[in-house]
Every structure is written in C-alpha cells, then in structure tokens.
Amino acid sequence: MAASETHYTLPLPVFDRPVKLLIVVAPYYKDIADNLVAGARATARASGAETDVVEVPGALEIPSAIALAERLAEFDGYVALGCVIRGETTHYDTVCNDSSRGITLLGLQGAAIGNGILTVETRAQAEVRADPAGQNKGGGAAAAALHLVALSRKWARDTKGIGFRA
C-alpha cells in the first residue's frame, strides 16, 4: 500500500526573483478543494511564491482556464486542483482523461503546470490525499509547478525584445 512506502521529495527550488502562481480549482467537492488549495498555498509560500486563486465549475474547465491565463495574464506557473470521484457511469473516465490530457498538452506547449486533480474511487481516498497534514497532493502540485518554473527560468533565452509572441 502506498501509505507505507517512503518516497523521495525534491527540495523546493530557490528563486532570485518573484514567482507568481495561478491556482485553478474546481470546488465541486468544496471541503476537498479547500484542503488542496491550503496545501498548495502553504507550499508556494514556503518557496516565496505569490498565489492567485480562481474557481471553475469542474475539472474539465481547468485546462481552458489555464490556457486563457497563459495567453492573457502574467503568471509564471499554474496549479490545477480538483477532485473526480468514480460514480456509476463512464463520465468519470471522460473527466479524468480529458482534464489530464488538456493539462498535459498545455505543459508540452511550455506552460509550467502542477497537476493536482485527484482521481479516486472513494471520498475517503480523496480526503486523505487532499489533507495538508496527510498526503498533501495540493502541496505536491504546487511544488511540481515551482520546479517547472525553475527549469523554465534556467533554460530561458534572453531575446532582448526581438521577435514576435503568438
């Protein structure tokens, strides 16, 4: 069982200039979402990052909100948070697969995103994973975004204002 395993966690990156993260959360299960956000904010704070939070109706809207922010706002990275609990229909599979696919595609286009959308069988599993004092998956998603921001800054090229931005 995963609870008894020991996992290595990378230390949080250190930044020489401010980092701004956008936390995009689907609060369908409000108590679980609130715990995910609390964990993400605490991790961001520990790294000196500033956070903004926006809510969207469901997990399927998270990639769209991140895409809009990537085009229209000024954020260094993004934290995707929400919870999908298996129900009686195949809707669970659609929501899990398509939200994950959308986030992955945005990441492959260069957005620094930590995916903290829980995909679980039961509410009890979600509660343990979302708890900042438990598995703290919100904090883990924020840490992932921060590590990707650090990599993007490490590999950024100085363009001196030459060229066009799509």
Q: Catalytic one among 45, 46, 50, 91?
A: 91
Question: CA 164 to CA 142: how far, in whole Å?
Answer: 30
**Nearest partner of 34 among 47, 22, 43, 25, judged by Cα:** 25
Q: Is 7 one of the annotated active-site residues of the chain? A: no
**CA-based nearest residue to 138, from 61, 53, 70, 13:** 53
- Tell me the CA distances in angstroms from 159 to 44, 84, 154, one per residue in order: 28, 41, 14
Residues classed as catalytic:
91
